[in-house]
Structure 1
Amino acid sequence: MPLDPLPYDKHLTDTLDALADRGWAVDHTLFDADLIAALRASCEARWQAGAFHAAAVGRAVNEARREDIRSDAVLWLDESDSDPAVAAYFQRMDAVRQAVNQTLYLGLAELETHFATYPEGAFYKKHLDRFRDDDARTLTAVLYLNPDWPADAGGQMRLYLDEACTQHLDIPPEAGTLVLFLSDRFWHEVRPTHQPRMAVTGWFRRRIGPMPW
């Protein structure tokens, strides 16, 4: 599923400007409907095949499953995946990485990413995406795969806009929505969902060590 080169049009410029100005951006243009549908189909098939596992918090010796903190399930992905939709996702995300580096000089080198599924009732409490003992994660990228998401279905990402977490933006997990934000600055959570919810969640990393799997 080859993609056209990432266009340096007004939408991408606005996304990069938002990242530069405030550290976060929401884009609805970089992934077309066909690719989103193919990614969702891939995610659903792997979920039905039992390929996912319960998500954990922390890393290395501090990694633990804490269902009081998060209740989603994940499946890690890599660029060698044979699924054309996953390969196309990595291709488009690498174009985003290059555009961000050219504009913001963040030194993004690699992407770690997984499918994430939230069954009905699942949530993820407020957290930061950068580990205390590993500062490689620099830019978070969450791509939603849920078409026609109802307003009353919950499952929004609540992005806290200030350090004290007194202001926030709730972002519905509607298919094609890509949320980008600096991993060490923005607390966020996933509100309890009232129906199954799927996403591709990734983190662009600076190259300071091996990948964590």
Structure 2
Amino acid sequence: MRQPASPALSALSPDTPEAIEDALIEKGYACVPGFLSPAQVHALAAETLRLWDDGEFQFARIGTGTNRQRCPQVRSDRILWLDNDHLSAPQKVYFDALDELRQRINRATMMGLVDWEGHLALYPPGTFYKRHIDVFANARERQLTTILYLNPNWQPGDGGELRLYLDGAEMEPYIDLEPRGGTLVTFLSSRFYHEVLPAHTERLSITGWYRVRSTRHF
């Protein structure tokens, strides 16, 4: 079984929740290195690779409900949805940190975030996710997108950067965010189109969404 490199002996000091809150209020997105310690990132990465080797991942799909379909020309990553009621110990550490952040964001913004859903994502070399937005026309519960990167040894040239488009549906301007291990990216789900550039080495992450209560009527 493959293992990521051992973590560094000294843990990074994470940025404060206030920094994330301020960035979300000011810009609509935040990019925070060291949200989890190297040891915590290592544990999540090792678990993700074990689950991958055990065949637990599936091809990602696009769309919702009966319209969900595999579309490899748009999205070619593999995912494994997390069950919040049956999290592993490393996953629970991350979930608890996210839940504390959720409460802080609610106090600062009155967004009314009630829960979080997410999945492990693995991009083998050559895979990508074309430009898209995370909110569906018939399901707008997702408010904030969260991406935690699990690539402790990522180097320039490894690919898999997140391209975040800063002006709605416009193609420019944009920024490219490196998927370095421990970095947490958070952004308003309905505001930012984004894509994952082609990965040249395995790219690991946990992608998820803070949600509000459903307002749909049936």
Counterpart pick for 1:92 among 89, 94, 97: 97
Which stretch shows the higher mean deviation, 188-197 or 9-18? 9-18
Aligned to 1:189: 195
The CA distance in 1 between the partners of 2:57 and 2:83, in whole Å, is: 15
- Check the 8 A contact 1:165/1:187 in 2, yes or no: no
Is 2:207 aligned against 1:201? yes
Aligned to 2:10: none
The CA distance in 2 between the partners of 1:115 and 1:53, in whole Å, is: 10
Counterpart pick for 1:42 among 44, 47, 70: 47
Aligned to 2:180: 174
Once the two structures are superposed, what CA deviation does each residue of 1:127-164 show, in whole Å capped at 9, x if it has no partner?
00001110100000000000121101111000011121
TM-score, scaled to structure 1: 0.91
- Check the 8 A contact 1:28/1:177 in 2, yes or no: yes
Once the two structures are superposed, what CA deviation does each residue of 1:108-135 show, in whole Å capped at 9, x if it has no partner?
1111100000000000000000011101
Is 2:128 aligned against 1:108? no
Runs (5+) with no aligned partner, structure 1: 1-8
- Check the 8 A contact 1:11/1:29 in 2, yes or no: no
Once the two structures are superposed, what CA deviation does each residue of 1:79-119 show, in whole Å capped at 9, x if it has no partner?
22251001111111101111110111111111110000000
The CA distance in 2 between the partners of 1:136 and 1:117, in whole Å, is: 25
Runs (5+) with no aligned partner, structure 2: 1-13
The CA distance in 2 between the partners of 1:11 and 1:167, in whole Å, is: 28
- Check the 8 A contact 2:41/2:152 in 1, yes or no: no
Aligned to 1:3: none
Q: 1:151 to 1:79 in 2, by over 3 A?
A: same
Is 2:136 aligned against 1:131? yes
Question: Where do 1:145-160 residues align within 5 Å?
Answer: 145-160=150-165
Aligned to 1:6: none
The CA distance in 2 between the partners of 1:24 and 1:115, in whole Å, is: 21
State, as a whole percentage, how many aligned pairs show the same letter.
Answer: 40
Q: Counterpart of 1:96 in 2: which secondary structure?
A: helix
Q: 1:184 to 1:42 in 2, by over 3 A?
A: same
Q: Give the counterpart letter for 1:200 in structure 2.
A: I
Number of residue equivalences: 202
Q: Counterpart of 2:176 in 1: which secondary structure?
A: strand
The CA distance in 2 between the partners of 1:82 and 1:137, in whole Å, is: 21
